[in-house]
Amino acid sequence: MTNVTAKPARRPAGRRAGGTQPSGWWAVAFVAPATAGLIALYVWPFLSTLVKSFQDVPAFGPATFVGAGNYANLLGDAEVWKAFGNSALYTVIVLLGIPLAVALAALIEQAGRGRTIYRVLFFLPVVTLPVAIGMVWRFIYNGDFGLLNYVLSWFGVDGQYWVADPRFTIYAFGVVGIWMGLGINLIILGAGLQAIPKAVYEASALDGAGRIRQFFRITVPLLSPSIFFVTILTVIAALQMFDLIFIMLRSVNNTALADSKTIVYLFYEKAFVQFEQGYGAAIAIVLLIVIMIATALQFRLQKSWVFYG
């Protein structure tokens, strides 16, 4: 398997590297299941996706190498560009939920009694099936008798077909994405808030700083590592959005689907509906590259705003 089996002999108890136990076969037995699974179900599939991205893989019959053909097709494929654009737009919208989460987390932290109730309420979408969430929001977004258009009519705003008109679908998904992600973000940010020493607030209060000022001068800078972490997680998850589009458009044959596909949806369609696995694999590889670039970019940018006290 790997070179973990190279040293079977048990070493004498006195010689320990860095305080860890001498282990030999025991270590092999401990890591073998995880390693076997990792190789069979992750490393090998990853490599096979990489190889397939350079192949034409018909549903039946042998695959043939086409060099960078899939990637060349991908670059000239308007559907792919559209999907990346949709995923990017969705990601930007969902990112707007982070300032909201920071503000709410700070408020919850100061709420004293009732904190848990708020956390539970905001967390409910996290423990609700995403499929169910998609169904409920599809109903709310319904253009003819949906709740959203009804509420908008109170303010004299014209209703729209939010998930049937491709001009609005991604924004409609984005709102649901913010709503769905809030609960997790609040918990992570809440844990970060509790790590900020109370003395800092007390000292600044003595200096006459009000709550708003404290929020921007103390809370946000000291919380910035957590905010950064939440941002990284949010971007990665948003770039992989699939469930909402599947449930709100695909499962009901909504015609807006053609213009609303996200990267992962397009990947699913190519690889598992049309069984063009070579092309699907190339899309997946590009997704990997995009996520890596987005993450690397954020690590670059963090130097200018994340404060490690």
Partner 1 sequence: MAEPAVRRAQRRRTPTSTWPIHLVLGVAAVVMVVPFVWQLLTVFKTTSEVSRVPPTIWPNEFSAHAFETFFSTVPFWSMFAVSVGALVLRVAGQVAVAALAGYAFARMSFPGRDALFGLFIAMLMVPSQLFLIGQYQLIRDLGMLDTLPALAIPGLFSAFGTFLMRQAFLNLPKDFEEAARLDGANPFQIFWYVMLPMVKPMLAALTVLTGLYSWNDLLWPLIVSPSGENRPLPVGLAGLQGQFGTDYPTLMAGALVCSIPLVIVFLVLQRQFFRGIANSGLKG
The nearest distance, CB 302 to partner 1, in angstroms, is 16
Binding mask 253-272 for partner 1 (x = CB under 8 A): x----------x--xx--xx
Binding mask 270-289 for partner 1 (x = CB under 8 A): -xx----x--xx--xx-xx-
Residue 174, Cβ density class (10 Å: 0-12 exposed, 13-18 middle, ≥19 buried): buried
Biggest distance spanned by C-alpha atoms of the chain? 81
Binding mask 152-191 for partner 1 (x = CB under 8 A): -x-------------------------x--x-x--xx-xx
Nearest CA to 293 out of 239, 243, 248, 256 is that of 239
54, 84, 90, 122: which one binds partner 1 (CB under 8 A): 122
Tally of CB atoms within 10 A around 259: 16
The smaller minimum CB distance to partner 1, of residues 3 and 304, is found at: 3
68, 96, 147, 293: which one binds partner 1 (CB under 8 A): 147
81, 150, 171, 307: which one binds partner 1 (CB under 8 A): 150
Does residue 125 interact with partner 1 by CB under 8 A? yes
Tell me which residues in 56-95 interact with partner 1 (CB under 8 A): none
Q: Cβ(249)–Cβ(163) under 8 Å?
A: yes
Nearest CA to 198 out of 213, 175, 186, 214 is that of 214
14, 59, 61, 145: which one binds partner 1 (CB under 8 A): 145
Q: Give the whole-angstrom CA distance, residue 92 versus residue 70.
A: 28
Residue written as token pair 């109170």: 154
The nearest distance, CB 69 to partner 1, in angstroms, is 17
The smaller minimum CB distance to partner 1, of residues 46 and 171, is found at: 46
Cα angle value 131/133/137 (rounded, 5°): 120
Does residue 297 interact with partner 1 by CB under 8 A? no
The nearest distance, CB 16 to partner 1, in angstroms, is 7
Q: Cβ(242)–Cβ(268) under 8 Å?
A: yes
89, 131, 196, 294: which one binds partner 1 (CB under 8 A): 131
Q: Give the whole-angstrom CA distance, residue 205 versus residue 207.
A: 5
The smaller minimum CB distance to partner 1, of residues 74 and 108, is found at: 108
Residue written as token pair 């499962």: 251
Residue written as token pair 């932290």: 109
Q: Give the whole-angstrom CA distance, residue 213 versus residue 265.
A: 43
Tell me which residues in 100-119 interact with partner 1 (CB under 8 A): 104, 107-108, 110-112, 114, 116-119
Nearest CA to 210 out of 89, 110, 286, 303 is that of 110
Tell me which residues in 214-233 interact with partner 1 (CB under 8 A): 226, 229-230, 233
68, 72, 92, 132: which one binds partner 1 (CB under 8 A): 132
